[in-house]
Amino acid sequence: GKTAKTRTGVASGTALTFEQTASAAGFQKILNGNHTITVEVSDGKETVSTSATFTKAVHAASVTLAEPLAVEGDIT
């Protein structure tokens, strides 16, 4: 696993949010299949964690041209 963010000195009862986004290149490096994200929280005495799963299933790619390709004659 990889630690993405660590926060210390947070007052009890403080609401926190976490967002993890990846660049297109980073997302492409994640293989198709099941993955788990785990968040762990500790107050120095006790530690709790929760997990979420997701499935990446990319099976096709498409290409859109900004402008048509220049060709001579018919494409066969």
- Which pLDDT score is estimated for 60? 87
What residues contact residue 29 under an 8 Å CB cut-off, 6+ apart? none
Q: Is 58 exposed, middle or buried (0-12, 13-18, 19+ CB in 10 A)?
A: exposed
**Average pLDDT for residues 72-76, to the nearest whole number?**
72
SS3 40: strand
Question: Cα(17)–Cα(15) distance, rounded to whole angstroms?
Answer: 7
**pLDDT, tens only, 42-60:** 888 999 999 999 999 988 8
- Residue 75 pLDDT grade (very low, low, confident, very high; cuts 50, 70, 90): low
